[in-house]
Amino acid sequence: MDFHEIALKEMRRRKYSPRTIETYLYCINRFLNRTQKEVSKISKVDVKKYLYELSERNKSGNTINIHLNAIRFLLEDILNKNMKLNIKYSKTPKKLPTFLTREEIRKLLNAISNWKHRLMIEFLYGSGLRVGELINIRVKDININEGYGFVRNGKGKKDRIIVLAKVVIEKIKNLIEIEQLESEDFLFRTNREESYSVKSIQEIIKKAAKISGIKKEIHPHTLRHSFATHLIERGNTLSEVQGILGHKSPETSMIYVHMASPKLLSVKSPLDN
């Protein structure tokens, strides 16, 4: 039985993202190669032993959880084994994500000489987008006159509204006019009239970070963290930030309250009294 092909078809049927499919297949193959057993003879003990080995190799909590979910998918959903893998998740350390100050954002943007590349990064930060959302934005998703847009089929297969920074609106108008973009076109296209890749955006940011001299490790998602933190600092409510980021629960957005500057949040130290 080709478990790889069966798992692939089932994940596609469930409309898992390409990234999730690739990750799950990798984890499943690693597990099967490690156990060296017929699938019918795999036990819960084998699963626990494998996860323990990952822990011993200092794999992060997130990594172990992903392997567990992939193995559970294979054994319970594909093979219908009544194993009930109610193994406790490995706790992920509560680590605050990296974010840039507003001055660092300015330095990063000023380090990008290509005008379209800069516009993409301005849009990424200015609307709090995930990088996958940025490269999939189409002209029809942007309501320039009203100053907002939509992310279509974002994380969780949901649509959400996004704000457009005033500074990018005129630039987007110029981009559409210069490249004669149609409604169905990707807003940001390469010279081959294709959408940009995630790797391309990563490289733009990596190069700008090096030129700007910012010592922090910066990724596309760092700009989303920065966007959310700066909204909180400006006095936006948690529910507003939750909505604009597309988070399911306020707990997910709560982390940005802890990251925001206490001074800008108007928090007074009791020592002052």
Q: Is 102 a catalytic residue?
A: no
Alpha carbon distance 15, 9 (integer Å): 10
DSSP secondary structure of 6-22: HHHHHHHHTT--HHHHH
155 is catalytic: yes
Over the Cα atoms of the chain, what is R_g?
22
CA-nearest of 132, 144, 156, 126 to 244 is: 126
What is d(CA 247, CA 249) in angstroms, rounded to the nearest whole number?
A: 6
Residue 136's closest CA among 200, 176, 189? 189
Query: Which residue is catalytic, options 130, 138, 225, 230?
Result: 130
CA count, 13 A, side-chain hemisphere, 148: 7
Q: Is residue 15 flagged as an active site residue?
A: no
Q: How far apart are CA 160 and CA 155, in angstroms?
A: 10
| Set 67, 117, 224, 225: catalytic member | 224
Active-site residue identified among 155, 171, 189, 207? 155
Say whether 106 is catalytic: no
Instruction: Verify whether residue 224 is a known catalytic residue.
Output: yes
Does the annotation mark 130 as catalytic?
yes
d(CA 160, CA 152): 7
Q: Which of 223, 232, 197 is nearest to 108 (CA)?
A: 223
162/223 Cα distance (integer angstroms): 15
Query: Of these residues, 59, 171, 219, 221, which one is catalytic?
Result: 221
For the annotated catalytic residues, the residue numbers are: 130, 155, 221, 224, 247, 256
